[in-house]
Amino acid sequence: IEEAAGVTRYKNRKKEALRKIEATNQNLLRVSDIIIEVNRQINALKRQARKAELYKKHQERSQKIDVLLALHYYNNYSGQIEETDSLLERLKNTDMAQSSELKNLDAAVEAIKLKSAQKNQEITDLKSHIFETQRKIDRIENDLRHMRTEVQRLGRESVELDGIKNDLEAKNHTILSEIEQVQKEQMQHQN
């Protein structure tokens, strides 16, 4: 009777349309899950980028302070050495009898030279530290560039996924319209 009435064809079309709706709904769920995950990754990358920028600022500030300290120590001890050398020279020219005092002054000069050598070593170490800090900053800047690129890429993916979602919703709407049309045709046919 159904075949004679032509209802079978409409039932088959209805089943096909319902299957398409279910597939579309599954696709919409998957796209929504992907969008949520992409947004979570974007937020995490933004937080990491902010931390890296803060670390870079602290490292740059630390580097400037290290350089200023090194220059201060170098200038201070260089001045002390010059003053001691000058005093030693005056004492030698004035009175050779003050040899014991000169020995003491020589010892003071040697101590200052030793301090100067130690400070020079500290300056060398500071320069090495500054170089290492700059390498770290360079690595962080590279990481920041990578993270920014990744954020942009994920943003583009999010936009593309939104487009896919909109397309799927439009297809779902079209399928629903087709079902409604089939139902109308079925009702007209039954009447």
Over residues 68-81, the pLDDT tens digits come to 988 888 888 888 88
| Phi-psi group of 95: left, alpha or beta (phi > 0 → left; psi -120 to 50 → alpha; rest → beta) | beta
Whole-angstrom Cα distance, residue 83 to residue 109? 10
Over residues 124-182, the pLDDT tens digits come to 999 999 899 999 999 999 999 999 999 999 989 999 999 999 999 999 999 988 888 88
